Amino acid sequence: MIKLLLADDQALVRGAMAALLDMEPDLKVVAEVGRGDEVAAAALAHQPDVALLDVEMPGLDGIAACRELRQALPGCRALMVTTFGRAGYLRQAMAAGAGGFIVKDTPARQLADAVRRVHDGLRVVDPALAAQSLAQGDSPLTERETGVLRAARDGGTVADIARELHLSEGTVRNHLSAAIGKTGARTRAEAVRLAVENGWLLT
């Protein structure tokens, strides 16, 4: 029997996934959580074999939760199951130690098969996303440019961003300008949107 932990902030999605997986004779859901910062503790308490993690969750995103899980319970494998099939998320998840990355509209039979394959130590990746990730490459943004764009997501002024990041306004403008150029955007808002869509701003 393969024991599973489900982490998803949408209760309906989590419940539906649990019901589908529990119908499989060799799979059993032993724990469910709705926040990323609850994953490691639940894993230690219930000792699952595979954790199915959403990417975008409150408390801690799924990729950071995957890192924590790998430290807390190294024998538990992680499968990212997300609405957001973004190449940048895939690359970050694999770097964090995830064994697989699939989207939520994956048919139930394929989801169960993905769980089994990840449990067996195989890599499972949505094929279209894998191709997109290879074509796109790594994020072109530096760590500081990523931080400035992340701070710009809320629509604050340059002065607001400078205060938040303890930088001068001129430095913030320089980083924003570089990020706009690297993303091929025309405006700061468009640069943020493109970076989010590519999965470069999650962590």
Query: Is 21 a member of any domain?
Result: yes
Torsion of CA 36, 41, 42, 43, to 10 degrees: 100
Rounded distance between C-alpha atoms, residue 28 and residue 17, angstroms: 11
The region, left, alpha or beta by phi > 0 then psi within -120 to 50, assigned to residue 24 is beta
Shared domain check, 148 and 129: no
The region, left, alpha or beta by phi > 0 then psi within -120 to 50, assigned to residue 166 is left
Give percent of the chain above pLDDT 90: 61
pLDDT tens digits for range 14-52:
999 999 999 999 999 999 999 999 999 999 999 999 999
Shared domain check, 161 and 123: no
pLDDT tens digits for range 63-97:
999 999 999 999 999 999 988 667 678 878 888 99
Quote the mean pLDDT of the chain: 89
Which residue range forms the structural domain that includes residue 162?
Answer: 143-197
Shared domain check, 180 and 90: no
